[in-house]
Amino acid sequence: MDKNNKKKQSGMKFAVLLTLLAVGILAAIVVLTNQQSASPVETGEVDITGQPTLGESDAPVTVVEFGDFKCPSCKAWGEMVYPQLVADYVETGDVKFSYINVLFHGNESMIGSLAAEAVYEQSPNDYWDFHKALFAEQPAVENHDAPWLTQEKTVEVASQFPAIDLEQLKEDMEKQTAMDKVKTDEALVEEHGVAMTPTIVVNGQTLEDPFDYDAIKALIDEALAEEN
């Protein structure tokens, strides 16, 4: 083999090594970036005073959902993640779960929030069933922008629950009697930097991916271990 061929092969090997090294560095950066983005962010404990809360009041761990009745992802979270969370932790007395209204979809979000708060005020025992039933009225995802969340719809949903006074609900909606509570929720949204729905906060730590139940579970288990 002549010198030129040897030099050519050496140059090719060096180029291959540089390429492999660059690929390895890039892969490491991607892994580290993903790990960092998947880590929960410390956003502070959420004040749930006066908020609809499911579970034991003295449960050691607090999970908060910032959600919007107009949001398809919130409906999906309520169907895919929430039932498991309740079964695994709320019913065992380890977690109390609270819901805070977000108004990212304008007037319809406001209507849903006012209705839910009015129901909670007059019939707390029906709140969570009303909450679930209102989300169930959402149209298919491809039509989620179409107007559907009206005062009439909220009253129709509430009519499923005999303990709810429909005339009182209509009056509360017309007079916006729960506006102070909705304003409190808006302040909490701003305070905790909520930028998407649903946003899930576990003992003051916000999940990067609200649908990552393993991550939610890990945070809860870690908090419970610290209590013991």
Query: With pLDDT > 70 as the criterion, what percentage of the chain qualifies?
Result: 83
Structure tokens that stand for 145 in this block: 């922008």
pTM value surpassing 0.85: no
pLDDT of res. 64: 98
Instruction: Assess whether 120 and 153 both reside in one domain.
Output: yes
Q: Say which CATH number the domain at 100 has.
A: 3.40.30.10
Instruction: Assess whether 115 and 184 both reside in one domain.
Output: yes
Instruction: Assess whether 25 and 52 both reside in one domain.
Output: no
Angle at 179 between CA 174 and CA 185, to 5 degrees: 145
35 against 166, higher pLDDT = 166
Instruction: Assess whether 97 and 31 both reside in one domain.
Output: no
pLDDT in tens, 172-189: 999 999 999 999 999 999
Contact of 120 with 52, CB cutoff 8 Å? yes
pLDDT of res. 70: 96
Residue 29 above 60 pLDDT?
no
Residue 22 above 70 pLDDT?
no
Instruction: Assess whether 117 and 190 both reside in one domain.
Output: yes
pLDDT of res. 190: 97
Task: Determine if the peptide bond prior to 198 is cis (ω within 30°).
Answer: yes
Instruction: Assess whether 135 and 188 both reside in one domain.
Output: yes
Instruction: Assess whether 167 and 129 both reside in one domain.
Output: yes
Contact of 170 with 105, CB cutoff 8 Å? no
Instruction: Assess whether 207 and 183 both reside in one domain.
Output: yes
Instruction: Assess whether 48 and 34 both reside in one domain.
Output: no
Number of domains in the chain: 2
pLDDT in tens, 154-171: 999 999 999 999 999 999
pLDDT in tens, 4-21: 444 444 444 444 344 334
pLDDT in tens, 54-95: 999 999 999 999 999 999 999 999 999 999 999 999 999 999
The mean pLDDT value of the chain amounts to: 87
**Cα–Cα dist 210/183, whole Å:** 24
- The domain in which residue 214 lies consists of 44-227
Instruction: Assess whether 100 and 177 both reside in one domain.
Output: yes
- List CB contacts of 124: < 8 A, sequence separation 6 or more: 52
